[in-house]
Structure 1
Amino acid sequence: MFNFKENISLAVNGLRSNKMRALLTMLGIIIGISSVITIVTVGDSMTKSITDVFNDMGANSVQLYIIDRPDENGNTNWSRPYQAEDYISDEMIDQFLEAFGDRIACWAVSESVGPGQAINGHNKADGRIQGVNANALGINNIDIIAGHDLNEREVSGEKSVAVISDKFVEDLFPGLPVHEALGKEIKLQLSQGTYTFTVVGVYQYEVSGMAAMMGAGSVTTNVFVPMGVAKDMIRDTDSVTNVTDGYYAMQIKGNEKVTDSKAFTEEIDNYFNNKLYRSNKYVMVRAESMDSMIGEMTSSLDMIKLAISIIAAISLLVGGIGVMNIMLVSVTERTREIGTRKALGAKNIAIRVQFIVESMIICLFGGVIGVILGTTLGRLGSTLLGAPGWPSVSIVLIAVGFSMGIGVFFGYYPANKAAKLDPIEALRYE
């Protein structure tokens, strides 16, 4: 009845004889397929990158922060500034640790001072000064490779000590082994003055994002100092008139005794709100587990990825219309050929299949080119985000299958028109 191999050969020969027209016809398919694959690849990379960051904090990690408390009518006074008594105080933390200490592996509060720069001759190192409590770095799985984390004696005594990154050591003391940086003094220049710290620890800096793509150049890493020292540095800033002793947020990591992170999070939330913040009419505490934050973030990214993919897929519709248009032109150009084939006994279904196959071949080639282009752009985009990735096999197969489906859908009308041509009228066509 009809020969697929022959139809494919005819379709390929037709594309070869009209290369530019074929390429322009495929353009909408190429753009649509490549856009969808790029977006999905980059979206999956972002999701994986963010999930990895949260997972590094641990499944039993809880983020605690203060929010405005709604009144009995559900209204919130957004204009009211936070007062000193609204923040999480050291006394609250002590009470909390007394009640939950047997289930807590570590906890952390932080205070950002701002960017600074250390200079050693011609060498410079940029650092972002962060005030932290004792043994706080373990909560984010920061790996101390020389020396130690800030301890209780250093933090409570407000010693001028710091934990810096190996990248900071490399920039400031090129060629110096990290363990030899211990005990060295560094002078950090900030807008409010110059401060001297003794290095007591060095942590391994994990390269990610644009820093990974750029490879070289100045990278600003965190310099961790005792919390009290950080607050004194903030007070030295002319524009700051009041510095609270409390904290806006607190991070907690449960130990192996915590088997249900959701229940653990709810228990912490209830303890703060029903006991420590019970008398506060304006502020309450919200506790969120890493698991719930990962779920919310992943869900949001998936929705964004889907929305952008739908927009990008519109170009596939435009490409399909272009395929239909060029196939109608092809039917018109080959009217006499169709008449000759029908006069020699070709059935309507054979003519119909011939043009549908030709339409599918156009979309298949466009789909393959789109997959190659989308894979390249997706890889480049995910690399820029610091989490290089490839498109999944399933999305590639779906993309190619979808492009061929477009060929069938938009090629059927021209093919059906060709099949219904009257052979006598077709042979008379000039």
Structure 2
Amino acid sequence: MTLHFTNARLINPEAGTDEIGSLTIDNGVIVAVDADAPAGSTELDCGGHCLAPGIVDIGVKIGEPGERHKESFRSAGLAASAGGITTMVVRPDTTPAIDTPETLEFVTRRAAEARVRILHMAALTKARAGHEMVEIGFMLDAGAVAFTDVFKVSTDTKALSRAFTYARSLGALVIGHPQEPGLSAGAAATSGKFASLRGLPGVSAMAERIGLDRDLGLVEMTGIRYHVDQITTARSLPALERAKANGFDVTAGVSIHHLTLNEIDVGDYRTFFKFTPPLRSEEDRMAMVQAVAEGLIDMIGSFHTPADEESKRLPFEEAASGAVGLETLLPAALRLYHAGQLDLPTLFAALALNPAKRLGLPQGRLAVGAPADLVLFDPYAPYLLDRFKLHSKSKNTPFDGCRMEGKVLATYVAGQAVYQG
């Protein structure tokens, strides 16, 4: 079926434009922009609402295998489609880890339950233990798009250099988590006045800088394609800027929670605000927003991490880290738009275009020939978020009860409506 979207506010991150226009899709592909409706097409009046490329979210945690009670591919797919996410790139920190071709093939079959596109990352080292590299070539053949040990940071730098060198020979993308594991062990907050007043074990912001410097040294030594999963402190930005200026193949991301929340939001030990890495100071948060606006930080992700009530209803130090974010990623990101800090093309460059480009995907664009993965949304629709209405199995969101602005009206994958609000 040929669909012709009219009266749409087209958010084009590639061109950097935000203009009223029309879009035509046929057989799952964009075939025309700002053209007349083809004969026999179905016209959809967007009512002046925003039509943008579907979000490509790198770093989503799914509970299969091992923790299906927290999140399944099916429930994550429902949440993603309701949040305007058309491609999820899922993490290997499962039980067991995705560190063999057989495990990767299992989750690939299970992912067929989802109504959005799902790509898989694999562990970089066996059991994510940081010592013995996985069979990177076989994992690439089985469909892995990147390699990461997620939040388990290796202390075996020699083993890591071998893995980087081998990944470089195969052109594999490695995703690292910049933390010095000794300094960050046991930490529940960022060290400083707030952590001291609350009696929480803290970690210095320098732990991220030290971990990043180590990884960037290995990048310089091996020439690998490297992505930093989360930059969260201002101290890390100069090192990232130097790496890019030196021509290293490095990109960086940031979590939506570190862009919109700070350490004070933890309040009286609210565990829904416990993250890895912990929330930072307001000065760090503003520095991250500025880095996204300038393009120094390339991507924004939800870092969706489902946790059940039992693992969150604990003392702050003992509670699980992370939050669900598939349905809150877009409305939370729109806070930056409403605050005048990011325009919509810049926002969708970080949410869709840059992640797609880094993975070599054709998504993330409003261009002729691109897949018709789209999100139609009203950026001004206000509502109070009720966590129990989220599609995720787990309900651990820091935005529960918050006033949000921005609702997804429809999500399309390959031209098919997978969600209609």
Pick the TM interval, shorter chain: under 0.3
Give the TM-score normalised by structure 2. 0.22
Q: Bigger relative contact order, structure 1 or 2, given CA contacts below 8 A and separation 6+?
A: 1
Q: Which has the higher strand share?
A: 2
Q: Which has the higher helix share?
A: 1
